[in-house]
Amino acid sequence: MLRPLLFACVVARAVGLTGICYDSYLATSQVASDFRVIRTKFDAVRTYQTNVGGLNLIAEAAAANLKVAAGVWIRDPSIYVDDVAALVAGIKAHPDTVLAVYVGNEELMHGWSASQVIAEVQAVRGALVANGITSVPVGSVQTDGDFLNNPELAAVCDVVGVNIYPFFGSSPLAVLFPIQDLSTRYNAVVAAYGKNRVKLTETGWPTSGVSYGTPVISFATAQNYYNSYMSWTATSGADCPFYFQFQDVTAKQGFEAHFGLSVDGVSWKFTPPTPAPTPAPTPAPTPAPTSAPTPAPTPAPTTKTPAPTTVAPTTTTTKPALSTSNDTFVPEKGHFVSDDGNNTDSNATVVVTPAPTPAPTPVAIDKREDDATSGTHVAETASGSASSPTTSITVSVLSVVAVLALVAAVYHHYRKSDAIKPNTLLPGRRSTLTITHDAIAIL
């Protein structure tokens, strides 16, 4: 019953947090300022000891508003005793600051057996329980391979802390695709021991130093790995993973001295992402004030206009009714033609009453058209009405006279010629006379 409760505590405390490792090699005079710098970019620190030169790192983290994964160093008996005492005091004073307690760090790589580490984990848990501390999960930190090869150690841990470094990988793929290597190895431990228990406690890439095997050591390579790591943790990584480490430690040798994200503890080598701020709650919208009704304006008095002397008559026109289908109105036919070719003859009578204005006097405008044969001019009025009946009769009479004159001329011509008969005009074809209202055409 206790372990499921501890799992719930771990998840609740670590969701959405980002962390960085803090090396105990650093001078104690720097701890307070270092933690303030760390807090500008990260939410938590992982320590390898809890007591450093008389300073309780749990209390220091709480003062900087940081969470802490507190470490117990088990390779030195004197350090171990001081760490356990600081652990008990720090958790009692700041119960909400500690995410987890990690007993040891990679001892299986340094000749320890799984049973030795198990004994230390159980001893630290016993000391906490003896002091009434039961809500903080206790575990150990080893490499992913060592945890997979020693499931009995994982069985006694509330949290399984794994250190995974593609930089140290022997496979060329680990170097070419480091984040894929990190993800694959992390997921293998998760598959073995469960997502809620497994935590990424270290990963990193040095910015300088002599290359270890095939990996490339450069500032750009380290920056690319870090950026890819941050993207991975945002979508696939464990709750509150820890990157190694805050600052370069020049006391170490070779590339081991250059894993830090900062050279001097003041400025960053490359800018870690800033934690996203918590959005402010959206205030309820304030209703707009109701405007007072505007009184209707009083119309100004107007002078009565005398009635026109001539009132335009009310005209009644007939126009086609609007069609609700895709019909086409053909002006020449005066009706709609449907898409299927049928006529839509529904007409609507519209009464148009013009405003009472003096009726304009029609003005005759001559629109002259050259008559190709008779030279007749057709007069049209400005209203666009058709030619008068007198003009039509005149055109018809002239057309008939012209036809008779032409027939007489042709007949007289062919009577004088014995070689051509009148009925052989255009042999093989029939002559057709087409008479129009303004000309005669031989087709």
Q: Where are the beta strands (DSSP E) in 106-152?
A: 138-143
Of the candidates 214, 235, 258, which is a domain's last residue? Answer: 258
- As a whole number of angstroms, the distance between CA 270 and CA 272 comes to 6
In this structure, the answer to whether residues 233 and 374 fall within a common structural domain is: no
In this structure, the answer to whether residues 205 and 58 fall within a common structural domain is: yes
Residue 201 has pLDDT above 50, yes or no: yes
In this structure, the answer to whether residues 21 and 136 fall within a common structural domain is: yes
> Which tens digits make up the pLDDT trace of 218-253?
999 999 999 999 999 998 877 899 999 999 998 888
In this structure, the answer to whether residues 254 and 369 fall within a common structural domain is: no
**For the chain, what percent of residues have pLDDT higher than 90?**
49
- As a whole number of angstroms, the distance between CA 143 and CA 245 comes to 16
Asked whether residue 163 is domain-assigned, the answer is: yes
Number of domains forming the structure of the chain: 2
Residue 385 has pLDDT above 60, yes or no: no
In this structure, the answer to whether residues 244 and 376 fall within a common structural domain is: no
Asked whether residue 315 is domain-assigned, the answer is: no
Higher pLDDT, 215 or 436: 215
114: containing domain: 2-258
Asked whether residue 352 is domain-assigned, the answer is: no
Asked whether residue 389 is domain-assigned, the answer is: yes
In this structure, the answer to whether residues 228 and 373 fall within a common structural domain is: no
CATH of the domain at 30: 3.20.20.80
What is the average pLDDT value for the chain, to the nearest integer?
Answer: 74
Provide the sign of the torsion angle of the four alpha carbons 420, 422, 428, 434, taken in this order.
positive
Of the candidates 258, 282, 303, which is a domain's last residue? Answer: 258
Asked whether residue 303 is domain-assigned, the answer is: no
Of the candidates 233, 258, 283, which is a domain's last residue? Answer: 258
The rounded Cα 47 to chain-centroid distance in angstroms is: 40
Provide the sign of the torsion angle of the four alpha carbons 222, 227, 230, 231, taken in this order.
negative
In this structure, the answer to whether residues 251 and 398 fall within a common structural domain is: no
